Chains A and B, each alone.
Chain A
Amino acid sequence: MKLTLAEVEHIAQLARLELSAAEKELYRQQLSAILDYAARLQALDTSGIPPTASVLPPRSVLREDEPRPGLPIEEVLRNAAQIDDHQFRVPPVLE
């Protein structure tokens, strides 16, 4: 399985990762090798085998929806790059 540069750029775009030209080429080679290794899974017959998403027994984790105190807003906002009047400030979403 050889990834193309275009495929690497597509994945980087999906992941919102800015990569340099050198990084793209490095990951193209390394991901190709890792996916080659992973291809051995295709040889296994898994028809009729259910997928495992969690090892825990299925159970309800719902609770009563009761109000309770949250984290102090000043402390939470302290980690943001930009805040404005108790809110996160973000750059324009539309160009």
Chain B
Amino acid sequence: MLTDRRHCSLNSGWIATAAMPPRNDVTASTLKGIKPKGPWRSSQVVRLIKVVFVLLATLTSSQVLARDELNLYNWNNYISDETVSRFEQSCRCKLVQDYYSDNEEMLAKLAAGASGYDLIVPTGNAVESLIKSKQLRPINKLLLPNLRNIDPAYLNTAFDPGNRYSVPYAYTITLIGYNAEKMHELGLPTDTWAVVFEPKYLKKLKGRVTVLDSQRELMSAALKYLGYSVNDTDEAHWRRARDLIIRAKPYWAAFNASSYIKELTIGNIWLAHGYSNDMFQAQMDAKHAGRPFNIAYATPKEGAVLALDSMVLHKTGPRPDLAHRFINFMLEGKNSAELTNLIGSGNPNRDAMQYIDPAIAANKAVFLTPDIQRRLEMLKDLDRNQRRVLSRMWTEIKVR
């Protein structure tokens, strides 16, 4: 499925993946006047400089040549190759993808001037942030006849009332995934955050646990375990969460946002804090590889974070027309269902129900029963002072 031929963006890196056409004209405007270098065959030197000019010009301009391309900035592992090729066939265009593994990473890159993305798939609080900083283009609902397929429960959210800018794509829950056989063998509970935070359980899992390298996600898990809301901004509560994390840290193998899927599948890691669709993939991978164990996943009883990811149009995107076509394509029940069937993400599309694999439909992490729904919360954006305090706590968590 999704192989490592497509390198993922990092939380800490500025790495391009698919070739992004540079938006600057580098050529003559940057190079100052030519000064022939003296009697050292000045004509030769002049010719050399001209060749360099031409080289620079052709190489940079060739990348700006208009192609029917749609630039999608999406989470890692959040769309399948099959879906991509079917879309490319239907629109006779090319889908160029770039990836992020964290909302913060995506927002940071956009804030630093990254441009040219037509479509982004941020989570609710990030959508809120993007709307407030006026980076989005409103969507034209007339171009989206399939919008009626979406379950109204997922529309008209607090972060985008009236859905002026966003269309639901999929949702995931941040929960715990685990090696079922190992956990049973060690007699450990699998329905609570305690197994991630309590030394008495962690003792048996030393070096076999990973948590997400995400400030909000890890703090949310700790806050939920302590009985607070994920949107609690009381600094005293945050300090308790921080201390809880610091206490558990020595038992964890790593803070990890992307490779935990592989580690779970191989059997190096027995318990991981991660996203439900990633856990689904680990489960499938383990089965296909014929491993002697099963990967299972569950939403802890104390509650967890629900991430509703939506498609939005960035205002610097060059092809809003193709973007709308993609959105409408993904709103078709069949395509939306393909997403769920292949990556195990939650599905807000009513029309998709009929196409979804019954085995997956039965999975409570994919389709929420009311009791689980009650425990879930969506993250709200923080203000700048809170972000600063959180950042300091994160530094403390990393260092202490």
Do A and B assemble together?
Answer: no
Query: Measuring CB to CB, which residues of chain B are less than 8 angstroms from any residue of chain A?
Result: none
